[in-house]
Structure 1
Amino acid sequence: MAVFLVRLIGPRPTFPFDMTDAEGAVMARHFAHCQALAEEGAGIAFGPVLDPSGPWGLGLIEAEDEAALDAILARDPVITEGHGFRYEKIAMPNIILRPGLASRPAADVS
């Protein structure tokens, strides 16, 4: 198995601050897709990154190889529904996780 960092790039630099209703709906389906990946064990972590140069979505995904990762990403509603999103993929040859990380609830940082 391999771990990949994936960056979800929105359809424009101002996304998600000006998302349309249709984009909001597809993002809800995207979140459900990510939640399912986490529950299945392929998803390690997901979340928005408020990068000053432009926000993007982060995913850490475990997959057999890049072809398997591509199949996972191809099923994401933000890709299948064609709203202009795209993924960038970076292989991570080694990863260290804090023990018990997966069993802890997410913190509310709002």
Structure 2
Amino acid sequence: MLGWLGQFLAAEAGIKPSGVFHCRLIPPRPDFAFTLTEEERALMGRHADYLRTQLREGRMMIAGPVADPTGPWGLCILRVGTEAEARAVTDADPVVRSGRGFRYEVLPMMSVIM
């Protein structure tokens, strides 16, 4: 829904989509970053390896944890052609595929300065 709204507002304002997407990884619990089990730590290692692959292949620009006072979450900025491509990248992330309650919010950037 938010992706559609961003595209609609950009079109109304005459802004061409940037092809850059803000991807917020929401962990399964607010204290996840502080209460990792060994199994979860290994899963996060696979997640990091996956993101490094996206960086090497030119789809990812930057990623890392965000120190939000309400609970840390992950940020990934993707540069791909479409929102569907961004969702394909986030859906293939090992943490999402693990079924442990991780999910991404994917929002198109209306414009970027690089």
TM-score, structure 1 as length reference? 0.84
The match for 1:11 among 28, 46, 60 is 28
User: Could you tell me which amino acid in structure 2 is paired with residue 94 of structure 1?
Assistant: S
Residue 74 of structure 1 and its aligned partner are, at CA, apart by 1.2
Aligned to 1:29: 46
Moved over 3 A (4+): none
Partner Cα separation in structure 2 for residue 47 and residue 89 of structure 1: 15
Query: 2:21–2:107: 8 Å Cα contact kept in structure 1?
Result: yes
State the partner residue of 1:80.
97
- AA of the residue aligned to 2:105: E
Q: Work out the number of aligned pairs and report it.
A: 97
- Tell me how far 1:88 sits from its aligned partner: 0.8
* Structure 1 vs Structure 2 CA RMSD: 1.0
Alignment-derived partner of residue 82 in structure 2: 65
Please tell me the residue identity of whatever aligns with 1:5: H
CA contact (8 A) 2:21 2:109 kept: yes
Structure 2, unpaired ranges of 5+: 1-17
Q: Percent identity?
A: 43
Aligned position for 2:8: none
Please tell me the residue identity of whatever aligns with 2:33.
Answer: P
1:52-102 residue CA offsets vs partner (Å, 9 max, x unmatched): 1110000100111111111111110001111111101111021112xxxxx
Between the aligned partners of 1:58 and 1:8, the Cα distance in structure 2 is: 6
- In structure 2, the residue matched to 1:39 is 56
Of Structure 1 and Structure 2, which has the larger fraction of its residues in helix?
Answer: 2
Q: Is the contact made by 1:23 and 1:83 (CA closer than 8 Å) also made in structure 2?
A: no
